[in-house]
Amino acid sequence: MISIDEIGQVRAFEPERIAEVMRARPRGMMARDADTKLMIIAADHPARGAFAAGSDPMAMANRRDLLARCVEALSRPGVHGFLGTADIVEELTLLGALDGKLVYGSMNRGGLAGASFEMDDRFTGYDARGVSEAGLDGGKMLLRMDFDDPGTIRTIEACSRAVDELADHRVVAMVEPFISHRVGGDVRSDLTPDAVIASIAISSGLGRTSAYTWLKLPYVPEMERVMAASTLPALILGGEVSEDADAALAGWAKALALPTVRGLVIGRSLLYPPGDDVAAAVDNAVGLL
């Protein structure tokens, strides 16, 4: 275990130490009982050029601050794991923050925020082999589908291959699907129940097997009808930072009551909460479980 100040020294003079620490990391265990719900902290946004949290457009741009917030969140009782790109996963492993945690690697970050090619979301992060060799518990992929953008089909095809490859390694393929469209050049997700149901049906059918596929889904109205679209395990995502933290908690609580919902995977809403008290925000979310 090292301090945040020492990460740069390891990177410059002992890069081989990163793989050694990753191999030696005590892994987390997936709960096998139906009543246990997972709490996963997510921080893979910067690798896609997305730094905004709440009203601050560059909130996640300071890596030392982001790491400190992740360490604080991961230290809270009831937090089971982390989702991030290789750089952040490796740094948190060096800090000892991922010992005994489930860890999921973020795979496709090529659809850079605001780019003309945003829908052509190529796999520039972890691949299935990297997930397995790093001792991670699965890989996460973002699948935004704009029916008017030809880049979408390349993303769908790449996600399908990733589902197959992760299944070959017997680790979770975590698919985060959205029906999306552009508004004034910006990509917006359609969060109506019918659109989310369509995204679930499409992503459930990816690959030659769905045995290891999980879904990462937003909380939307009519969640019971939405979740009836699939039997796949699902984690509910946090999305944008909400100024109404109580309303966000109430929505997550309703979703957690549904049988296929296995927990929460939340990033900015807990790492950059209103009031900036990370520990309290995480504890309140864990209380729902």
Q: What is the rounded CA–CA span in Å between residue 205 and residue 164? A: 11
Domain presence at residue 120: yes
Please write the tens of the pLDDT for every residue from 72-110. Answer: 999 999 999 999 999 999 999 999 999 999 999 999 999
Domain presence at residue 144: yes
Q: What is the pLDDT of residue 26?
A: 97
Q: What is the rounded CA–CA span in Å between residue 267 and residue 53? A: 10
Those residues whose C-beta lies under 8 Å from the C-beta of residue 190, and which sit 6 or more positions away, are 178, 179, 180, 181, 196
Q: What is the pLDDT of residue 32?
A: 82
Q: What is the pLDDT of residue 95?
A: 98
Domain presence at residue 138: yes
Q: What is the pLDDT of residue 273?
A: 94
Domain presence at residue 30: no
Q: What is the pLDDT along the chain (289 residues), one digit of tens a residue?
A: 899 999 999 999 999 999 999 999 999 998 888 788 999 999 999 999 999 998 999 999 999 999 999 999 999 999 999 999 999 999 999 999 999 999 999 999 999 999 999 999 999 999 999 999 999 999 999 999 999 999 999 999 999 999 999 999 999 999 999 999 999 889 999 999 999 999 999 999 999 999 999 999 999 999 999 999 999 999 999 877 676 778 888 999 999 999 999 999 999 999 999 999 999 999 999 999 8
Q: Is the dihedral of CA 210, 214, 217, 221 positive or negative?
A: positive
Domain range enclosing 170? 4-22+38-286
Q: What angle do CA 269, 194, 145 make, to 5 degrees?
A: 70
Number of domains in the chain: 1
Domain presence at residue 28: no
Beta bridge partners of 103: 82
Q: What DSSP letter does each residue of the chain carry, written as one string?
A: ---GGGHHHHHHH-THHHHHHHHHPPBP----STT--EEEEEE--GGGT---BTTBTTGGG-HHHHHHHHHHHHTSTT--EEEE-HHHHHHHHHTTTTTTBEEEEE----S-TT-TTTTS----S--HHHHHHTT-SEEEEEEEE-TT-THHHHHHHHHHHHHHHHHHTT-EEEEEEEEEEEETTEEEE--SHHHHHHHHHHHHT-SS--TTEEEEE---SSHHHHHTT--S-EEEE--SPPS-HHHHHHHHHHHHTSTTEEEEEESHHHHS-TTS-HHHHHHHHHTT-
Q: What is the pLDDT of residue 245?
A: 79
Domain presence at residue 262: yes
Domain presence at residue 185: yes
Domain presence at residue 242: yes
CATH number at residue 138: 3.20.20.70
Q: What is the pLDDT of residue 143?
A: 98
Q: What is the rounded CA–CA span in Å between residue 11 and residue 44? A: 20
